[in-house]
Amino acid sequence: MYQFNTLVIGSGLAGLSLAIELANCGQKVAVLTKKELSECNSYYAQGGIAAVIDNNDSIEGHIKDTLVAGAGLCDAKAVRYIIENSANAINWLIAMGVKFDLDDDTSTGYHLTQEGGHNFRRILHVADATGAAVINTLIQKVKRHPNIQVFENFVAIDLITGYKIGLADNQCYGLYALNRNIGQILTFAATNTVLATGGAGKVYLYTTNPDIATGDGIAMAYRAGCRVANMEFMQFHPTCLYHANAKSFLISEAVRGEGGILKLPNGYRFMQDHDERLELAPRDIVAKAIDYEM
């Protein structure tokens, strides 16, 4: 049996950044991932990361753009918290060693692009492989940290909770995981267990999500008695290169931000500017698309 202060399941940006921060505080941390560390949704992100770092930009402007793009479905408190802390998150990544593209002609010193849904150039990027650059940088930090132990090719099976082992409480005590290298189920005990396993986009046949996005963490949390919400929200990129016999390939959203227009075969522009979308309820947008199709 392995024993740690904190067990982090998942090796995306959320899991790796948390592992580094906890390890820096002296905790003994384990990071489990079902394949290699770099196989995560975060790695495949292309265009960049939105943050308010330009003095001509504003928190309120970014919040407005986000709420409009969310068509009235966003959690306003969560949106505000994330955007108010966006610059701090970028500065943390820079301190970790992420080398965002520079531009000496801008006041920020960074090359900022504009993506769909944004009214301002606030996207920091590393060429068009931002996710790969971020994850590779953090992987090096994780692998070199004396307080972090990495377990690659380990598939999380189920959380160990009090009810399951005959205790009166339902506290989480760790995890059972399958070591795919040797075909053996091992026990991980931890004071804290963190699910950073991402979503379940791969349950759909056609998706730009990698094969690991199968919702394991959501299922484990549900079986342990956690509340599960917002499962109706799945990300489908509006731009991808589709082939019936091969994996779909994501085309960066920066294409739309730089002026690309998406149209159906009948000419209907199905990703309206957010100013237009602001005036329509989500059901009206769908109805309008159907009218054009007919």
Catalytic positions are 283
Question: Could you give the residue ranges of the DSSP H alpha helices within the chain?
Answer: 13-24, 41-44, 59-69, 76-84, 86-96, 130-144, 216-223, 254-257, 274-278, 282-293
Mark 182-220 as b/e (b = at least 16 C-beta within 10 Å).
eeeebebebeebbbbbbbbbbeeeebbbbebbbbbbbeb
CB 83 within 8 A of CB 92: no
Residues 6 or more apart from 260 whose CB is under 8 A from it?
239
The Cα 76–Cα 74 span in angstroms is 6
Residue 176: what are its φ and ψ, rounded to 5°?
-100, 135
CA R_g for the chain: 21
Structure-token pair, residue 268: 């209907």
CB 271 within 8 A of CB 115: no
User: 195 - beta bridge partners?
Assistant: 9
